[in-house]
């Protein structure tokens, strides 16, 4: 018998709306609710993939160790995002990166065998998983294209992309808590440099900060920073995100 509280939680996601009551009950019966405290690791890179997770609330940062002491942050993921999906279809696969709770969070855990054998048999679920994998590849490719951009361009790009990934009902406030240190690790900069630009943009009235949350007040100004040709070297650097935005 499925846990009815988990059944209701699954029903709150759009991606499960096309499933029949029986199909939804089957998934609920194989799903476990897990609470993850802020700063705790859900899974570590290099360990065997044994489950896939769906974020119920809160957020996670996906990071990977480097030769230095600092880890590289690849993504910030929140409600509705799946964790551990990139390599889940391979035999004896390992998690390529670690998932750390960015705040108090909860996930729905799907055993790997059930995920591969039953969960992905539903076209609507397979479609959302494929789209999320594609979106993360797109973001990784965008970050590679921004490698030679200046720090303010990278920072503006990060804030705008993070804002645009979340549901419109959140308005202009980024609901994922972002520390200056994590933003620096995401864009490959120094925390002090990120602090300086965040402070400057706040004084200019372009953004508003509250604890670890950032609200975009003047989007146009951040887009100007993103597209500014500050030097001959950076003038050739255009994020995939900004190019796609101009085409749309």
Average pLDDT over residues 241-248: 45
Quickly list DSSP for 115-171: HHHTGGGSHHHHHHHHHHHHHHHHHHHHHHHTTTS-HHHHHHHHHHHHHHHS-GGGT
Per-residue model confidence as pLDDT tens digits over 38-70: 999 999 999 999 999 999 999 999 999 877 767
- Asked if 54 contacts 108 with a C-beta cutoff of 8 angstroms, the reply is yes
248 falls in which pLDDT band (50, 70, 90)?
very low
Per-residue model confidence as pLDDT tens digits over 97-131: 999 999 999 999 999 999 999 999 999 999 999 99
Q: What are phi and psi of 14, to 5 degrees?
A: -60, -35
Instruction: Report d(CA 134, CA 138) in Å as an integer.
Output: 6
In the predicted model, is pLDDT for residue 236 greater than 80? no
Question: How is residue 246 written in tokens?
Answer: 């101009």
* Cβ burial, residue 211 (10 Å; 0-12/13-18/19+): exposed
- Asked if 102 contacts 176 with a C-beta cutoff of 8 angstroms, the reply is yes
pLDDT value at position 230?
Answer: 43
pTM of this prediction? 0.87
Task: Please give the helix or strand (H or E) that residue 186 lies within, else none.
Answer: helix 180-187
pLDDT value at position 1?
Answer: 59
Q: What angle do CA 185, 211, 188 make, to 5 degrees?
A: 10
Quickly list DSSP for 212-248: TEEEES-HHHHHHHHH---SHHHHT---HHHHHHHH-
Instruction: Report d(CA 79, CA 55) in Å as an integer.
Output: 5
């Amino acid at each position: 018998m499925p846990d009815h509280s988990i059944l209701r939680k699954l029903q709150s996601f759009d991606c499960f709306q096309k499933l029949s009551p029986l199909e939804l009950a089957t998934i609920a019966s194989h799903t476990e609710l897990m609470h993850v405290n802020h700063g705790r690791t859900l899974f570590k890179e290099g360990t065997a993939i044994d489950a896939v997770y769906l974020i119920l609330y809160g957020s996670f940062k996906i990071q990977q160790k480097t030769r230095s002491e600092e880890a590289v942050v690849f993504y910030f993921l929140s409600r509705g995002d799946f964790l551990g999906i990139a390599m889940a279809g391979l035999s004896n696969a390992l998690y390529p990166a670690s998932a750390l709770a960015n705040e108090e969070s909860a996930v729905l855990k799907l055993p790997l065998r059930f995920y591969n054998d039953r969960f992905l048999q539903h076209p609507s679920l397979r479609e959302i998983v494929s789209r999320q994998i594609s979106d993360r590849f797109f973001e990784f490719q965008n970050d590679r294209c921004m490698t030679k951009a200046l720090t303010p361009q990278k920072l503006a790009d990060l804030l705008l992309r993070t804002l645009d990934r979340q549901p419109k009902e959140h308005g202009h406030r980024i609901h994922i808590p972002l520390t200056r240190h994590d933003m620096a690790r995401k864009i490959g900069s120094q925390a002090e440099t990120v602090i300086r630009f965040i402070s400057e943009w706040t004084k200019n009235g372009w953004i508003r900060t509250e604890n670890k949350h950032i609200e975009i007040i003047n989007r146009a100004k951040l887009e100007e920073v993103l597209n500014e040709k500050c030097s001959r070297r950076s003038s050739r650097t255009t994020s995939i995100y900004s190019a796609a935005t101009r085409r749309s």
